[in-house]
Amino acid sequence: MAIAHAERHRRPTTADPVALKLLVAGGFGAGKTTLVGAVSEIKPLRTEEALTEAGRPVDDLTGVESKRTTTVAMDFGRITLREDLVLYLFGTPGQDRFWFLWDELATGALGAVVLADTRRLQDCFAAVDYFERRNIPFMVAVNCFEGSRVHTPKAVTDALDLDPGVPVVLCDARDRESVKRVLIALVEHAAALAPARRGSHAAH
C-alpha cells in the first residue's frame, strides 16, 4: 500500500490545456463560416439566416452570387493543436449592420485572422482598421477561390496598406490542413508581439 501511495505521488499531474480565443473576420462572403467548419473538431455552432430579397439593397452579392445564407451573430468552432493547446474560433458576421457584436466577440481574443477575397478586397479594410485601432494582433489570409486571380502576399500587403509586420498568407478555407497552417501562423505572430503589447499596457 505504501509503495502504491508513493507511486501516485510520483506520477506527474496532467495540466489543463491552454485555451486561446481567436477571431475569424473579413468581408461578406469571404469564407469565414467555411473556414471554421473545415477545421473544427466539433460540430460548429452557426447562426446563419437565409438571404432574402429584402436584404438585397444592403447585401452586395457581387462576386458571390451563389451565396444563400449569411452569419448574423457568430460561428464557433474548436480545434486541439496539441494536447496542451486548444483554440476556440469565433467567426464574426461580415455585414456592417451586425458590427455591434464585434466588441463583445473581440474581448479576450489573442488575435484575429482577416479572411480576404481578392475579388472584393475592399471588404477587408474595415476589419483591418478595427484590429489596428484596438491593437489586436492580426494576419491576413487570402482565400484562393477557384477561378479567381492569384495575387502575391506582397501585392495584398500593398493593396491593403498593411504594416510590414502583418503576415499575409494564401489559403484554401475548405482545406483543414491549409486552415491549420493559418491558425498556427496567427498564434506564433501573436506570441511574438506579446512582450511589446505587455510593455505598452504597463506604460499606460
Distance of CA 151 to the CA centre of its chain: 20
Which pLDDT belongs to residue 47? Answer: 58
Whether 25 has a pLDDT exceeding 90, the answer reads: yes
How crowded is residue 113: how many other Cβ atoms within 10 Å of its Cβ? 28
pLDDT digits (tens, 9 = 90+) for 169-179: 999 999 999 99
Look up residue 196 and give its three cell numbers: 511589446
What domains sit in the chain, N to C, each tagged with a CATH number? Answer: 18-203 (3.40.50.300)
Look at the alpha carbons of 135, 140, 141, 147 in this order and tell me if their dihedral is positive or negative.
positive
Spatial distance between the Cα atoms of 5 and 198, rounded to a whole number of angstroms: 43
In Å, how far are 100, 107, 167 from 72, measured between CA atoms? Answer: 11, 18, 28
Residue 194's pLDDT band, with cuts at 50, 70 and 90, is confident
Residues contacting 124, CB < 8 A, separation 6+:
26, 27, 30, 114, 116, 140, 160
Q: Is the pLDDT of residue 2 over 60?
A: no
Per residue in 132-185, pLDDT tens?
999 999 999 999 988 778 889 999 999 999 999 999 999 999 999 999 999 999
Instruction: Locate 30 and state its grid cell.
Output: 469571404
For all residues of the chain together, what is the average pLDDT?
81
The Cα 78–Cα 90 span in angstroms is 9
Give the residue-averaged pLDDT of 177-203: 85
The pTM assigned to this predicted structure is 0.78
Which of the given ranges, 58-67, 93-102, 177-186, 192-201, has the highest pLDDT on average? 177-186
CB 93 within 8 A of CB 74: yes
